[in-house]
Structure 1
Amino acid sequence: MNSNKITFIGSGSIATALANSVSSKIPDKIYLLSIEEEVIESINTVHRNNKYFPFIPLNHNIVATSDVKVLKDSDLIFIALPSSVVLNYIQKNKDSINEKAILINLAKGFGDDRRTIIQGLEDITNNPLATLKGPSFARDIINNFHTGLTLGMNDIDLAPPIKELFKGTNIHLDYSQDILGVELISILKNIYAIVMGIVDAHYNSPNLRFMVLTNAFQEMRGILKQFGGKEETLFNYCGFGDFGLTALNDLSRNRTMGLLIGKGFLTKDISDQVLLEGRIAVNVFCEEISKKHALDNFHIISELYNVFYKEQKVTTFVNSILNNN
């Protein structure tokens, strides 16, 4: 029986789904730390997250709260916030966090300082850090479908309490000490999911789809290595699995964005309303690659940059990445 105290910072879909998956193993309370009063009330009164999963009953030991004091007694703290606010939140509340707790990042995207969230956290806290990424729609997790996730940690000797937490649940872990690579892939896959959406909006061809998918995966490999990640990390759940899910499934926000772009619906309003981790990341990667005068080696992402920031026509983008195969 796992005796670690568990808190999820955030009460959205992924935090709720993972908390419910592990809650049947743990007799103690599992906390969802939230700023959403309606979510707190619905979880604590009717044992449902009415905002995200209104028809799914939650185990009764899941408790929602707005009190950051729960962090002081927590041993495992899962960070399930939008990537743009993670670093500010931890900086603001670091004195409330148990200094021995393992902080596990669930967010996918760059922090507000154009580095990975783990890199930013290393400057803020001395807590042990981990990242948890993989092909995982929260809807499937909370409906108890088996799901594979990669646990990335520099010190894999700290993994046993996390491994024990998920043992016997629908969550299956593989492991990597390439924590930078796990973080980078979780950003890159969003970019290339947009590409796949654009291509599929133009051509209903399985042959072409998987040609571009293969070229995109190769380009991800090159960027990963250039930024210091390890090639083998691409073959963990966080790599090919998460890329495949995000690039080929219409529930993916970034693939859906690509479909909209491909059909000619890229407008300022749509760009502001949709959560576009991939779009933001294109700018960061291309600027950093340009500093090394290597952007010509990564044709797909550079052409996508032109679509987003130089008003290149989508038909030109598609023809360019096909003719440059």
Structure 2
Amino acid sequence: MSRISILGAGAWGTALALSLARRGGHQLCLWSHSPALAEQLHVAGENLPYLPGFTLPAGIHVTSDLPAAIFEADILLCATPSQHLRGIISHIAPLLTRNQIILSASKGIEESTFLRMTQVVASITETPCAVLSGPTFAQEVAAGIPTAIVAAAHDPRLAQTIQRDFSSPSLRVYTNDDVTGVELGGALKNVIALAAGVVHGLNLGHNSAAALITRGIAEMTRLAVACGGRRQTLAGLSGIGDLVLTCTGSLSRNRSVGIELGRGRQLDDILAGMGGKVAEGVRSTHAALGLAARYGVEMPITEQVDAILHHNRRPSDAIRELMSRPGRDE
């Protein structure tokens, strides 16, 4: 039996808690930064703001006390928005022990530093850190629909520990030692999903969507390889798998934001209507461009997404810009 604390009671953290509870054999704690949400989870027995319709088993201990949540936990599963990870790890770092594991399930790049999530953790603590990524919608994981994900760590034994503790009849966990490739695949696909949503919002059809996704994975792969990741990782679950899901699935927040942008709505209005839910690609786009500039990598789709998000470029003009680029070999 492992003691697993899930830090972050949004849709994804709650879904992972439900998956682990369904698997059985662990002591589980779900931490919410909001005392009001923690109280609501106690009273209603479900996460009404973020993941309604799924009953939390009584065996999941819910708290808003962060030190209590991590006390004697074997695995600290971080499912917070990526831009909040540094603050949480900084807060708990003095309390961590040598035997604990940090598992990042946040898909993003830190906006101010261009660091991946494991790099953020490593800049604060020497606690071992792994990554959980892949094509996953929280609602489907919560419902027990068969899902395949990736556990990545530089130490194969660490990845195998996550594989053993998280695998279940509805969750198949693969291992990988390419942390860079797995993390960048999970973060960059959100940016491309925003663009895919724009294509849908402009009613451009299936040809445009297929081209966007294909050129998107090429763009993601260029940056991941430049940063030290492996090309084959981006052809796997955390790359093309997650990209296809997020670019085509109706449950994708990033795609949904892109659709509304394509229809002419303003970003601030779209985000204000999301009820506190996060579309990671909005913040990761700027960071992805910063990382690309650092390594001299060309990312035309990401550039146009950034122009739409932050420089008031009309979505139709962004598409026209992409289509009028000089010809090149595939």
TM over 0.5: yes
Three-state SS of the structure 2 residue aligned to 1:159 is helix
Q: What's the C-alpha RMSD, in Å, of the aligned pairs?
A: 2.2
Per the alignment, residue 129 of structure 1 pairs with 129
Q: Using the alignment, how far apart are the partners of 1:308 and 1:41 within structure 2? A: 36
**Paired letter, 1:86:** L
Deviations 1:80-107 (A, max 9, x none): 1111111111111112233311110011
The 1:313/1:44 distance shift into structure 2, 3 A limit, reads closer
Cα distance, 1:23–1:313 mapped onto 2, change above 3 Å? closer
Greater shift, 266-275 or 35-44, is seen at 266-275
Give the CA deviation at 1:188: 0.7
Tell whether 2:142 aligns with 1:142.
yes
Task: Give the structure 2 partner of residue 251 of structure 1.
Answer: 251
- Residue 115 of structure 1 is matched in structure 2 by 115
Match of 1:314 in 2: 315
- Whether the 8 Å contact between 1:75 and 1:98 is mirrored in structure 2 is no
Maintained 8 Å contact 1:110/1:281: yes
CA distance change for structure 1 residues 206 and 90 in 2, over 3 Å: closer, same or farther?
A: same
Q: Deviations over 1:223-271 (max 9, x none)?
A: 2212222111112211111111111122211111211121111354435
* 1:74 aligned counterpart, secondary structure: coil
Q: Tell whether the 8 Å contact from 1:80 to 1:105 is kept in structure 2 after alignment.
A: yes
Give the C-alpha shift of residue 62 in structure 1. Answer: 0.7
- Counterpart in 2 of 1:242? 242
Contact 2:289-2:299 within 8 A present in 1 as well? no
> Residues 310 and 42 (structure 1 numbering): CA distance in 2 closer, same or farther, change over 3 Å?
closer
Contact 2:180 2:224 in 1 (8 A): no
Aligned residues: 321
Measure how far apart 1:29 and its partner are: 3.2
Matched-pair contact (CA < 8 Å) for 1:134–1:241? yes
Give, in angstroms, the shift of residue 217 of structure 1.
Answer: 1.4
SS at 2:24's partner residue? coil
Identify which of 48, 53, 56 aligns with 1:55.
53
User: How big is the shift at 1:166?
Assistant: 2.3
The 1-side partners of 2:39 and 2:81 are apart by 22
**Separation in 1, partners of 2:285, 2:292:** 11
User: Aligned AA for 2:124?
Assistant: I
- Tell me by how many angstroms 1:45 deviates: 4.8
What is the TM-score of this pair, normalised by structure 2? 0.89
Matched AA of 2:134: G
Q: Does 1:285 align with 2:284?
A: no
1:31 to 10, 29, 32: 29
2:78 aligns to what? 79
Q: What whole-Å deviation, never above 9, does each CA across 1:268-290 have from its counterpart, x for those lacking one?
A: 44356653422322222223433
Please give the alpha-carbon distance, in whole angstroms, between the structure 2 residues aligned to 1:187 and 1:10.
18
Deviation of residue 7 (structure 1)?
0.8
Q: Tell me how far apart the structure 1 counterparts of residues 78 and 55 of structure 2 sit (CA, whole Å).
A: 23
Are the aligned partners of 2:182 and 2:238 in contact in 1 as well (CA < 8 Å)?
A: yes
**Cα deviations across residues 123-156 of structure 1 (Å, max 9, x unaligned)?**
2111110010111111111111011111111101
| Distance of 1:37 and 1:140 partners within structure 2 | 26
The letter for the 1-side match of 2:321 is: S
Point out where structure 1 has 5 or more consecutive residues left out of the alignment.
Answer: none
Q: What CA distance in whole angstroms lies between the structure 2 residues aligned with 1:223 and 1:159?
A: 24
Aligned-partner SS, 1:321: helix
Deviates more, 1:43-52 or 1:197-206: 43-52
Report what 1:298 is aligned to.
299
The code of the aligned residue for 1:262 comes to G
Distance 1:87 1:258 in 2: 27
Higher mean displacement: 24-33 or 100-109 = 24-33
C-alpha distance in 1, partners of 2:169/2:299? 40
Give the aligned partner of residue 270 of structure 1.
270
**Any stretches of 5+ residues in structure 2 without a counterpart?**
none
Report if the CA contact (8 A) 2:187-2:281 is conserved: yes
Compared CA separation, residues 238 and 65, structure 1 to 2 (3 A): same
Question: Deviation at 1:46?
Answer: 5.2
